[in-house]
Homo-oligomer: A and B are copies of this chain.
Amino acid sequence: MDKKISVAVVGASGYAGEELIRLLIRHPNVEIKVITSRQYDGKGVETVFPRFTGLNLKFAAPDVAQIARDCEVAFLALPHGLASEFALPLLQAGVKVIDISADFRLKSTAKYKEYYKEDHPSPEMLQQAVYGQPELYREKLRSANLIACAGCYPTSSILPTAPLLAAGLVYTDDIIISSMSGVSGAGRKVDLPYIFPECNESLKCYAPSKHRHLPEIEQELAFAAGIPELAINFVPHLVPVNRGINSTIFLKAKPDCTIEKIAAVYEQAYGKERFVRVLPAGTLADTKYVTMSNCCDISYTLDKHTNRVIVNGVIDNLTKGASGQAVQCMNIRMGFEESAGLL
């Protein structure tokens, strides 16, 4: 029998929480000890998610002392702002924190304030947090106690783009990302724009120049390019699917960029990765091939007549874009098989 650790899912009544439960109940090294929800305190998990009928788990109001006593790892699937309220005391109590919210992703408190309209609640922890994108930060994650999991749009954008920037094949000042997301990306939010008749048979862009994932993508692409900062266009669209993000990325090729070099760069970056798959020439990325999986698929082409590299990155926003990636980060941190619970 494998060794099992006890974990908590804090904020377990949303879609990221549901996905964490789905993944963790079959994880060979994990036992879910605590799932929290103020709203459903005392109720069985199956009252909120009948899918889990038969599972013996009850929601409890979040209690840091109890989590600290019982759990080695806490996943935070909370709205931004709230996550940091829990992260600090949990860390102080020795619990490893894997945060799915946006609270600890940005290194710059100025950027945080610009996009979230308030001062960062615990700026001292920003430098401590490791960005939860395993393919880019695997070594740092091995010892991280506070992991700020990459966002969904960022994951679908950064993984395909970072290697090309790092290799110097494309320019850093001409990057455009046009993304489509399924509605679960908005969370389990009860709001007019998300009711079925408003979303179905609808295609729309939103926040075309100031989405909160923009500074996160810019931060990571600048790191990849080895420069202090860069500016990109990122336009998200809401489309009528449940799960899945497809990001189409337009990059300006440098003169010596060739399709062979791109292939070589991707092979070196991801050839041995389990959860990033660079598709063979002729196959275009499609979200349906990654839904319910932890994979990010990448396809690409070099358009000679404009000298642009066009890359597609697709993920399941709830798995590789949130809870699956969180589990992958935990696996790395705890020394488990990296794919444990994710196949």
Query: What residues make up the interface of A, taking CB atoms closer than 8 Å to B?
Result: 15, 26, 49-51, 53-54, 174, 176, 178, 180, 182-184, 188-192, 194-206, 208-209, 231-233, 235, 237, 239-246, 248, 250, 274, 277, 279, 283-293, 297, 301, 303, 305-306, 308, 310, 312, 314, 343
| Max chain B Cβ within 10 angstroms of own Cβ: one of A190, A196, A200, A283 | A196
Chain B residues with CB under 8 A of A286: 50, 202-204
Chain B residues with CB under 8 A of A312: 204-205, 208
Chain B residues with CB under 8 A of A283: 50, 53
Q: How far is the CA of A196 from the CA of B246 in the complex (A)?
A: 18
Task: Say yes or no: A53-B279 contact (C-beta < 8 A), given A180-B203, A202-B286.
Answer: yes
Q: How many copies of the polypeptide does the oligomer hold?
A: 4
Interface pair A190/B180, CB less than 8 Å apart = no
Interface pair A195/B200, CB less than 8 Å apart = no
Chain B residues with CB under 8 A of A310: 208-209, 233, 235
Interface pair A292/B289, CB less than 8 Å apart = no
Task: Say yes or no: A190-B191 contact (C-beta < 8 A), given A201-B241, A208-B284, A209-B310.
Answer: yes
Task: Say yes or no: A201-B50 contact (C-beta < 8 A), given A192-B190, A301-B209.
Answer: no
